Structure 1
């Protein structure tokens, strides 16, 4: 990964941690705006990382549900 993507992904992971702890997703917009004021490239990479991480979470929840329905062991 590039430095930009590495930083964006780390910020996304930290954001997701806050989102899970608080249930509030306003931190995403706040951080995106702060990043955009200095680096549009980093802002775009951050938002991409957020979308990817959220999609991954949703996909893993679906797979976990389907594994359970199929009687397969948990993949945790």
Structure 2
């Protein structure tokens, strides 16, 4: 895949995620993908990959933070004993 497509897809994914965060519309990226697909299937695929990667990272990061929080809570409970 060309650097141009990767760069454009990444920037568009960042902007789309910002809109999703602000509006609360967690499926907005589907609409953007459909718009892209009408004119460039290659860019659509790159964009959807960028979105999936970002959504997966958010989910994993939330899991990591939750696990650390649980661990710290257990340590505090042990220290209080």
Which interval holds the TM-score relative to the shorter structure?
Answer: 0.7 to 0.9
Q: Where does structure 1 lack aligned partners over 5 or more consecutive residues?
A: 72-76
**Which of these two proteins has the greater Rg computed from alpha carbons?**
2
Runs of 4+ in 1 over 2 A off after TM superposition: none
> What TM-score, normalized to structure 2?
0.79
Matched residue, 1:67 = 68
> What TM-score, normalized to structure 1?
0.83
Which SS does the other structure have where 1:24 is aligned? coil
Matched, 1:6 2:7: yes
Which SS does the other structure have where 1:38 is aligned? coil
Matched residue, 1:31 = 32
TM superposition shift of 1:68:
1.2
* Cα distance in 2, alignment partners of residues 48 and 32 from structure 1: 10
After superposition, what is the alpha-carbon deviation per residue over 1:4-26, rounded to whole angstroms, capped at 9, x for unaligned?
11111111111111111111134
Matched, 1:18 2:19: yes
Aligned length: 71
Which structure has more relative contact order (CA 8 Å, sep 6+)? It is 1
